Structure 1
Amino acid sequence: MARTSGDIVIDAPADRVMAAIADFEAYPRWATGMRTVEVRSVGANGLAETVYFELDASPIRDHYTLAYTWNGDRSVSWQIAEPGEMLTSMDGAYTLEPVGGGGTKVTYQLRVEVSIPLLGMLKRKAEKVVVDAALKGLKRHVEAAGD
């Protein structure tokens, strides 16, 4: 199955963008619909391996745990470790690429499966809304922290 993707340029270096992505405790302040985010386990690199989420983004209200794989300041990917009641599968990735002037192009890919039947077109539209909101929220969060 294809992933939904989007990208945005953030006026900050990749290490600062990746630090914001790895700061899960801050997600409820900038990630739409995130009510609770708790790191459940940390790897030898000091980064989260599994993270528990409580999501309240109408019409989806659920809780689930994701497992993360980190690749320096270049990318992070995840997949569902413990599905929720509605979210049965989720995988995605952030890929960071330096651009001129000290900025970073961030590409977000996401694929979600839910327990309720949705037409493919509606599911992709919902994924696109999530991707766009996450990228815009990340941009605002990172750029505000740099001011």
Structure 2
Amino acid sequence: MKDRVTLDYDGSTSPNEITFSIDDADLLTEMSGAYKLSDNGDDTTTVSYELTVALSMPVPAMMRQKAERSTIDLALSQLKAKLEG
């Protein structure tokens, strides 16, 4: 199952947090989340990722969990590439 999603990002609380919310999608009815960044004081940063999603149709738990893991992995790898890039 694939969807086309457009997100709005808000960096007004950057560098500690970047939030996002859904602007447009085909299957999703809600999507919002945040990257929360914490300076570890040793030239490293801990990143937490929060995600809330609602679909326009029921999805079996196994499929939902797989999609959640995939979405989180992709989002964090893209963030890492952007920050280290």
What TM-score range do you get, normalising by the shorter chain? 0.7 to 0.9
What is the alpha-carbon root mean square deviation over aligned residues? Answer: 2.2
SS of 1:134 mapped into structure 2: helix
Q: How many residues align?
A: 85
In the TM superposition, residue 106 of structure 1 has moved relative to its aligned partner by: 1.0
In the TM superposition, residue 125 of structure 1 has moved relative to its aligned partner by: 2.6
Q: 47, 51, 68: which is aligned to 1:110?
A: 51
| CA distance 1:76–1:138, shift in 2 (3 Å) | closer
In the TM superposition, residue 65 of structure 1 has moved relative to its aligned partner by: 4.3
Q: Which structure 1 residue ranges, 5 or more long, are not aligned?
A: 1-58
Identity in percent: 31
Q: 131, 134, 138: which is aligned to 2:72?
A: 131
| CA distance 1:66–1:140, shift in 2 (3 Å) | closer
Q: Which has the higher contact order (CA 8 A, sep 6+)?
A: 1
Q: Distance in 2 between matches of 1:72 and 1:140?
A: 18
Q: 72, 76, 79: which is aligned to 2:21?
A: 79
**Where does 1:60-79 land on structure 2 (aligned, <5 Å)?**
60-66=2-8, 68=10, 70-79=12-21
Kept after mapping to 2: 8 A contact 1:111/1:127: no
In the TM superposition, residue 85 of structure 1 has moved relative to its aligned partner by: 1.8
Q: Which structure 2 residue ranges, 5 or more long, are not aligned?
A: none
TM-score (norm 2): 0.76
Q: Distance in 1 between matches of 2:36 and 2:82?
A: 17
